Amino acid sequence: MDRTTPVVPAADIQRQKEYCQELRALNAQKPAPPRAYVDTYGCQQNEADSELLRGMLWDMGYQIADTDQGADVIVINTCAIREHAEQRVFGNVGALVHGKRKNPAQIVCLCGCMAQEPHVAERLRKTYRHVDLVFGPQALWRFPELLRRVYLRRGRVFETAPDDGAIAEGLPVRRSGKLKAWVSIMYGCNNFCTYCIVPYTRGRERSREPEIILDEIRSLAEQGYKDITLLGQNVNSYGRDLEGGWDFPRLLEAAAGIPGEFLLRFMTSHPKDATERLFDVMAACEKVAPAIHLPFQSGNDRVLAAMNRRYTREQYLDKVRLLRERLPHVVLTSDVIVGFPGETTPEFEDTLSLIEAVRFDALFTFIYSPRKGTPAAELPDPMSKQEKSANFDRLVAAQNRISLEKHRSYIGTVQRCLIDGAGEDPRNSLTARTAGGRLVHLSGGSALIGQFADVKIAGCSTWALFGELT
């Protein structure tokens, strides 16, 4: 298949596997198996990347630990999307200095989006001298080589130069769950929304080959996975760099044709690229969950243009109308930013009126956070923090009311749910998800975990439904 995206040659992946074996042999000489801990911040893509890191660490002979206490290798997989996420990472990485003092042989690694920000790499280099290895998301497949370099030379390694990225296949994976799995279908983002750091940290859009993705889904279905989420920064641009006429609706339809009892989800969809054909496939395929995350970011046309979102409020509303024509009961969720530089309170009120018009099932609400190197960070931002917080509170209050009203409409209905875990409250010993992805608390025996069951909804809160087995 001809493609414009660079693919890592199989021989280079093989070399990484040889580094794994070399480290495995060294680790086998230790009195007890060494332990590695991977801590993950941020999005599902990072969760998926951490499963690859754990797969590589396992191949290198490390036991996977669930705490940093006493770990021989610590990997912090970071997120750069907002200032708050970065502050938490700096705080937690700073605290690791004590453990390292007790165990100087410990190796501390920092990877993920923060590693790809030049000012962060600089700060780590100068001030966080107990961090041994720093590498960005595009260098993830070379983790065995980089760790080996630190291990054998005991020097610090920074692999943080700008990198558009390539596709690396055949990496080992250790999945965290037995029911739910992530499948990356593409990496990177070309959209350059003016507030967003992701196109700078995760490189250019590149798609995995459809056959490889479909084989992975087939294998997950055979292993008994019940809930499979296809991941990409913008899944709707899948296939643009592939020959053969592949696009996201076609991939989704092909995935839904794979035998087995499972549901397919996907995220995230950019509204400008969400097509009628996508909605048709969602409506036609029983295995595709009736749910879509369609971030709108703002309800005001001037702000949308300043964000470089490339759709208007009316175009967004048209997409939602089209979607609901095809899937009247679709669960619709979204992301929104309050306090984009220059946003006035009347402009914010267009966001408020958009959520009243659409009535999302749930909303992820964020206060704008300036990211160094993005165009929005250079814009004048005269609104005070207090005014932004007041607008934010109004938005959250309105959405909480809508979420509660939406949840109330489930009462008395029977929902086919995947029982996915044990509940924390003894009166509700199980948790489940509706096909649309809403959380349900219910009681029942733990033997039901992993099964689809009909659940009658008897109550609700803003955040969850309460049900009983029928």
* Binding test (CB under 6 A) with ligand SF4, winner from 199, 342, 370, 423: 199
From ligand SF4, ligand 5AD, none, interface partner of 466 (C-beta below 5 to 8 A by class): none
d(CA 340, CA 63): 44
Residue 120 or 179 with smaller CB distance to ligand SF4: 120
8 and 168 in contact (C-beta within 8 Å)? yes
Residues in the chain: 470
- Could you tell me what percentage of the chain is helix, strand and coil, using 3-state DSSP and rounding each to the nearest 5? 40, 20, 40
Burial pattern 93-111, b for ≥16 Cβ within 10 A else e, equals beebeebbeeeeebbbbbb
Helix (H, G, I), strand (E, B) or coil at 442: strand
Q: Which stretch binds ligand SF4 (CB under 6 A): 20-28, 162-170, 190-198, 440-448?
A: 190-198
Q: Which of residues 184-203 bind ligand 5AD (CB under 6 A)?
A: 195-196
Sign of CA pseudo-dihedral 384, 386, 389, 395: negative
Residue 270 contact among ligand SF4, ligand 5AD, none, beta carbon within 5 to 8 Å by kind: ligand SF4
- Please identify which residue in the block is written with the tokens 């879509």: 292
Q: Is 191 in the site for ligand SF4 (CB under 6 A)?
A: yes
Give yes or no for residue 297 binding ligand 5AD (CB under 6 A). Answer: yes
Residue 392 in contact with ligand 5AD, rule: CB under 6 A = no
* 81 is an interface residue for ligand 5AD by CB under 6 A: yes
d(CA 174, CA 180): 13
Q: Closest Cα to residue 185, out of 252, 134, 280?
A: 252
Regarding 366 and contact with ligand 5AD (CB under 6 A), the answer is yes
If phi > 0 it is left, if psi is from -120 to 50 it is alpha, else beta; for residue 171 that is beta
Q: Crossing angle, helix 248-256 and helix 276-284, to 10 degrees?
A: 0
Task: Phi first, then psi: give them for residue 385, nearest 5 degrees.
Answer: -60, -40
Chain residue whose CB lies nearest ligand SF4: 196
**376 binds ligand SF4 per the rule CB under 6 A:** no
Listed ranges 62-70, 160-168, 361-369, 437-445: which one lies at the site for ligand 5AD (CB under 6 A): 361-369
Distance (Å, whole) CA 241 – CA 363: 31
Helix or strand (DSSP H, E) at 53: helix 44-59
Token duo for residue 243: 């020959």
Task: Note whether 369 binds ligand 5AD by CB under 6 A.
Answer: yes
Nearer to ligand SF4, 55 or 341 (CB): 341
Identified binder of ligand SF4 from the candidate list 78, 106, 184, 234, rule CB under 6 A = 234
Q: How far is the CB of 438 from ligand 5AD (least distance, A)?
A: 20
Cα 361 to Cα 41, 126, 201, 295, 312: the distances in Å are: 25, 45, 30, 13, 21
Region near ligand 5AD per CB under 6 A, out of 138-146, 323-331, 363-371, 403-411? 363-371
Q: Which two tokens stand for residue 420?
A: 């996915």
Q: Return the one option of ligand 5AD, ligand SF4, none that residue 287 interacts with (CB less than 5 to 8 A, by type).
A: none
Give residues with Cβ within 8 angstroms of 442, minimum separation 6. 419, 423, 428, 430, 431, 432, 455, 466, 467, 468, 469
Place of tokens 């990177």: 188
Structure tokens at 187: 């990496």
Taking contact as CB under 6 A, which single stretch among the options 311-319, 362-370, 412-420, 454-462 is the one that binds ligand 5AD?
362-370
d(CA 341, CA 385): 11
* 335 near ligand 5AD, judged by CB under 6 A: yes
- If binding is defined by CB under 6 A, does position 388 make contact with ligand 5AD? no
Per partner kind, with CB cut-offs from 5 to 8 A, the member of ligand SF4, ligand 5AD, none near residue 319 is none
d(CA 81, CA 87): 11
- When the beta carbons of 364 and 463 are compared against ligand 5AD, the nearer one is 364
Selection from ligand SF4, ligand 5AD, none that 399 binds (CB < 5 to 8 A by kind) is none
**With contacts defined by CB under 6 A, how many residues of the chain interact with ligand SF4?**
10
Token pair, residue 322, equals 């089209």
Q: Which does 233 bind (CB under 5 to 8 A by kind): ligand 5AD, ligand SF4, none?
A: ligand SF4
Residue 336: strand pairing partners = 297, 365
Only one of the segments 241-249, 256-264, 310-318, 366-374 lies at the binding site for ligand 5AD (rule: CB under 6 A); that segment is 366-374
Applying CB under 6 A, among 233, 298, 403, 434 the residue interacting with ligand SF4 is 233
Residues that bind ligand 5AD (CB under 6 A): 81-82, 195-196, 295, 297, 335, 337, 366, 368-369, 371
Contacts with ligand SF4 by CB under 6 A lie at 189, 191-193, 196, 198-199, 233-234, 270
